[in-house]
Amino acid sequence: MSLRFIPPAAALAAAMAALLPVAGATQTARAADFTVRSVEVPELKGVFGEVKSRTVVPARARIGGTVRAVSVSEGDSVKEGDEIALVVDDKNALTLNAADAKIKELKSQLENARTELDRAQQLLARGVASQARLDTSKTQFDVATNQVTAAEADRAVILQRAREGAVIAPADGRVLTVPVTPGSVVLAGDEIARVASGPYYLRLSLPERHATSIREGGTVRIGERGISQDKAGTPATARPGRIVKVYPEISGGRVMADVEVDGLGTYFVNERTLVWVEIGKRAVLAVPAGAVRTAHGIDYVTLVTARGPLDVPVILGARFPGDDGERVEILTGLKDGDVIATAGR
């Protein structure tokens, strides 16, 4: 058996090449380590917010009468000027007939006055009649003309009153309530429908002890649609909203606040949804959510020690967004300064 001679330089190079993967793995593992530090996070309180419309405009009847037809129902979208109901006053038809008859009578008197005026002018031209008779005939003709004009104006008023039987939508929006049905008798000014025309917002009601913790311009987190925790999600996945108004009066031990948030257009008015409000700050130990693994119902993190990695059981708290992803609070199991391995290790 022959032995091959390997130069010392070549042997050293081979040994270094064999160690390079190990060194690279060590650097990768160190890059995946995370040092646990105490950080301040917002202390959130979950409350229910009610969806409100900035303005709710009533559509009212302009005349009294009987509701002949209703064109909308609760939940319908309407545009400003749309006819949503029709109110009919049966007396309008009778009054209109009387006005037409009056106009015919006055027009007949006007024709007689015109004939008398023409005859007086002819007689005055022949020197048979006096100027006083002509002036009298002209005055009677002017009076008859004015009476016809006044009667036609009265008829126009009756027609306008009939047209005002159409109840129109006062603004764009959604119909909230329609408290009348066809056949109902209403008076002028009665409410036919209520239209939510303003942008939607959230109305919060907080306990009095949190009155000094909220402020205008503060950020809140709004869960997904629904009042259950399963549907609403968590603060980490909630969308942001902004407090635009804090009411200065406390009523019944509650302080009211309004929150502006996008995406409420399809909600029902007075629908409730889960909202998390910041009421202070607290110091917590938090780690990346990916550093936690669960086995047999127990949560673990890998603690980096001088003797090697060590799996440590922990109890988790709330989750919240961090600078580089979701973080989870560690209630017990770690202390400030511990080094753990993230998912990359």
Alpha helix ranges (H) inside 73-215: 91-126, 131-163
In this model, does residue 235 exceed pLDDT 80? no
pLDDT in tens, 98-118: 988 999 999 998 899 898 888
pLDDT at 204: 92
Domain ranges of the chain: 45-54+198-281, 61-87+166-197, 90-164
pLDDT at 25: 38
pLDDT in tens, 236-294: 778 888 999 999 999 889 999 999 988 887 788 888 989 988 887 888 898 888 889 89
| Cα–Cα distance for residue pair 153/208, rounded to 1 Å | 63
β-bridge mates for residue 207, sequence order: 254
Contact 59, 84 (CB under 8 A): yes
pLDDT at 30: 52
CATH number of 45-54+198-281: 2.40.30.170
SS3 124: helix
pLDDT at 168: 92
pLDDT at 123: 84
Q: How far is CA 50 from CA 91, 231, 233, 283, in A?
A: 46, 16, 17, 31
The pLDDT confidence band at residue 32, using thresholds 50, 70 and 90, is: low
CATH code 1.10.287 for 90-164:
yes
pLDDT at 219: 86
SS3 133: helix
The pLDDT of 210-222, averaged and rounded, is: 86
Mean pLDDT value across the chain? 83
Supply the pTM of this predicted model: 0.56
CATH topology for 61-87+166-197?
OB fold (Dihydrolipoamide Acetyltransferase, E2P) (2.40.50)
